[in-house]
Amino acid sequence: MDLLERVQRRAMKMIRGMEHVSYEDRLRQLGLFSLENRRLQGDLIAAFQYLKDAYKKAGEGLFTRASSDRMRGNGFKLEEGRFRLDIRKKFFTVRVVRHWNRLSREAVDAPSLEMYKARLDGDLSNLI
């Protein structure tokens, strides 16, 4: 757990009536995600922008689309790379692919960024 997460935990304990509630329950009651999940949410939003929207030109070689005719879930699956070095697992493209492939078809096929964000919130609350 990083420093920011500890600060958020401590700050949430100061909320009256939530002193003895677990961190996860406090997040759920307040309708918030943990910082790690918010980081993932930001990464998935950036991936959507690279793949569909604002940065399409720059993102053309960033991700590789999976080629398979037997796909369930969303029809826009990305290919996962395999690396021997652990440091590569932290790269943006590697971090995002597994979670992107688990998103619903409705989220991935969203016509706008605002609709994607709304659908992503629902998917993340179900996935995580």
pLDDT digits (tens, 9 = 90+) for 104-124: 889 988 999 999 999 998 888
pTM of the complete model beyond 0.75: no
Residue 1 banded pLDDT, cuts 50, 70, 90 = low
Domain that holds residue 110: 36-127
Alpha helices, DSSP H, located in the chain: 3-13, 23-30, 35-52, 92-101, 105-108, 113-127
Tokens encoding 36? 């790690």
**Rounded CA separation 123/125 (Å):** 5
- pLDDT tens for 6-38 read 888 888 888 888 878 888 888 888 877 788 888
CA torsion 113→114→117→119, rounded to 10°?
A: -110
Together in a domain, 73 and 44: yes
Together in a domain, 58 and 113: yes
Together in a domain, 69 and 103: yes
Measure CA 61 to chain center: 20
Q: From the CB of residue 112, how many other CB atoms can be counted at a distance below 10 Å?
A: 10
Together in a domain, 41 and 10: no
- pLDDT tens for 33-84 read 788 888 889 999 988 888 876 666 665 667 777 766 555 567 677 776 665 5
Number of domains composing the chain:
2
Residue 82: predicted pLDDT: 61
Together in a domain, 97 and 120: yes
Together in a domain, 102 and 41: yes
Residue 120: predicted pLDDT: 92
Together in a domain, 68 and 108: yes
